[in-house]
Structure 1
Amino acid sequence: MPTPYNVLVILVVELYAYLIDLKLLLINLLLKSLLAHNNFRHMTNTCTDAINKYLMACKNEGWLSREADKFLFANHIYNSINWESQTNEEIFHILIESQKQKYTGRKGIKFILKSGREKAGVFLSLSDVTLLKKAKIKPLNKIDWSKRTMSFTGGISVWVSTLFPEKYYPIPMRNINEVVRYLYNPRIDVFPKNGLDYITKCQSFCEQSHALLKQFPLEELYLEFWNALGTNKNALTVSKKDHLGPVDWVWLTQDFHLFVLDRILGKFGKEKTDISPVEFEEPTIIEGGSKLATHMRYERNASLIKKIKAQALKENKMLNCVVCNFSFLAQYGELGLGFIEAHHIYPLSEREGAQVTRKSDIALVCSNCHRMLHRDSEMTIKKLKDICVGGTSK
């Protein structure tokens, strides 16, 4: 039978272990809080800068006027549809006729007319109306879209956001995932690039943009633009507004993302061809003990590394670090465009003689993570990634 002294020792040891666990938990929470704060500060600065540029383009360059068709279309559909009093056939007729309608001199909306799933000209069917009606009460990912005529981006996304702007935002084009990475730098390893997952993943970020846009004097600019459309003889007849409705805000949010994609990232329409990855040599000196030790120089396949960077840049203009998701473009704008460092997963200092470098041997990382990977000879991409998210490596 244990003595009172032994029981006391056991209790003290258990209490000490508990306090250590509590301390580690608090440290992890603090690290996560600091990470979230830094990400929020980055997000706020990037978004504010982008919105100010958007406002200037709307005010001084007539940006909204160039996009007038989609705003006229969205308002026309939103004000023409009544799900309670109209039949599916009547609604189908209105939606089809909307693409024969002239808005600012042109018939229809380009991305809708090209949104057919199998044939570009067949962009909507009567059965699609039944599916769209379900989107009023069901989340998009709870609906069976397998027999749809529409594509997800130019079709479903456009119709549901115009018919139900209180629930959905339009995502009528690709590459909005790059806009999201630029504005919000989310910690998402894989962001869908198309399809239903792409549309649904973008919704929460659209909501964030919407909330931020409402903090700026955008409504006054839009109302001035909208009410001036009434004087355009070539435009669809419009009623004057004294405030913005839900359909205006969701399409303004889409328009802001289009602006970022086009003017800031240069990814809308014809992509820029003069962007190339910035070369950066791997550190050539490391600190060892009380002195600096020179890295042994080994033959590198610089051509391969350049190709790897170029391919990564083509797939994701943000060139996010594979460890912490940091983007030099997101943080520094044009100055950081094309910048990333190449880390050799198998240290060059452990090789003997000239070696062949393969694509799988290279990881693209930011400067900070690159230094951390070289600071500990046993550090790996996975271990450092676990540290970054406040986890523990096993």
Structure 2
Amino acid sequence: MRLTSSHDDIAANIKTLETYLHGDDAAARELAVGLLERGTYFIVAELNGAMRFYPSSFVGFQNNSAPKHLKNAGSGVRATTGALEKTMRALPFASVKLNELYLEYARSLGIENPKPKPPYAKARRFWLTPGNSLDLDMSEFPNAANDHPDFPEGKAAARLHHRLDRRPKATDAARHAFIHAHGHLYCQVCNFDFEKTYGTTGVDYIEFHHTVPPAETTESYKPRAEEYALVCANCHQMLERHRPWLTLADVKQVLNNG
């Protein structure tokens, strides 16, 4: 089988795995869950607000499928890892926090006792994709949402959070204060600079993480500029992935230890 060579290849395989995980084909789902349970290397992508993990042994082949994978079972592990390193332009890294998220995700798929580390390896390793950089169509997988019981806020609080982060006076004030203090916009966690990376497309772009959890607010609550952290999309997802939310220092530590 030909190896993955583009983000489009990776996205196509992710769509296939999601179809297996949430479709009616029991055998295909068993294959997908088994690969995830045994895997060592994973592409990590955000889908419908959740961090999800996709094994390199499947994602690393072009246009992969259950029949193709079964036919080529046991071959190409090193090759797929190498192909993904080239495609992602990065080496996979070990991360305690990402491994914890992996274990949580595995349990959500019905793996009752996922191993803290993979068989025959010191640790799982990950490629972390920023936001929806793979251009996945979220609407195709409505079931791929974050319904984990550790998220007690519920849909009403999530909607409140959505509204809070779009109140222009507070976010504009936070933006202007940051530019006044630092001269330009960049992520307060990882220092990612949208303008530096994307040129004119990234000018004046940043995301706002509201540091007061929605569960602690009411409908009449009015956010203040100083309650916002300015972050990139990837760090934004990580900050709000757990309940209670992680702090900027928590995510910085994950990156530094990774």
Q: Which has the larger radius of gyration?
A: 1
What TM-score, normalized to structure 2? 0.37
| Structure with the higher fraction of residues in helix conformation | 1
More strand by share: 2
